[in-house]
Amino acid sequence: MSRRLFGFSRQLLARALRLRCPRCGEGKIFRRVLTYSEHTHCPRCGLRYDPHGESLAFMYVSTAFLTGVMVIVMLFMHPESIASGRMVVIPIALALYVSTLPVRKALAIALNYLNHPLP
């Protein structure tokens, strides 16, 4: 049973990284990635991406990702002053936040689908 769940989880992760529907793997999640314009449902299979109107998984993925990256950056960075450290960390955080937004949203949709697969 756990091998089957692991395989299913890997499949969902791969689909999320390709920004595709977690159910069919074909439909695009976003109309345009750069403008962050997303579909409400899959254009291929009709899966509603956010059926309950919640984005809790997205908030958790976003918080965990950004916190983890910032902790790693701070561990390896040894600034001469706090101000110079902030001048490096804040632009990096903003750039990562904007550039990874579609992937984090797709991962959150996949996590929601993993926890509540709809027929």
Burial class (CB in 10 A: 0-12, 13-18, 19+), 22: buried
Question: What tokens were used for 94?
Answer: 């903003």
Helices (H), 1-117: 2-17, 56-76, 82-99, 101-115
What string of DSSP letters covers 32-46? ETTTTEE-SB-TTT-
Predicted confidence (pLDDT) per residue in 27-63, tens digit: 999 988 777 788 889 999 999 988 776 677 777 777 8
Domains in the chain: boundaries: 2-115
Tokens 């059926």, located at residue: 51
Residues 78-97, mean pLDDT to the nearest whole number: 83
What is the reported pTM? 0.77
Cβ atoms 8, 19 nearer than 8 A: no
Between 76 and 12, the more confident residue is 12
Does position 90 have pLDDT exceeding 90, yes or no? no
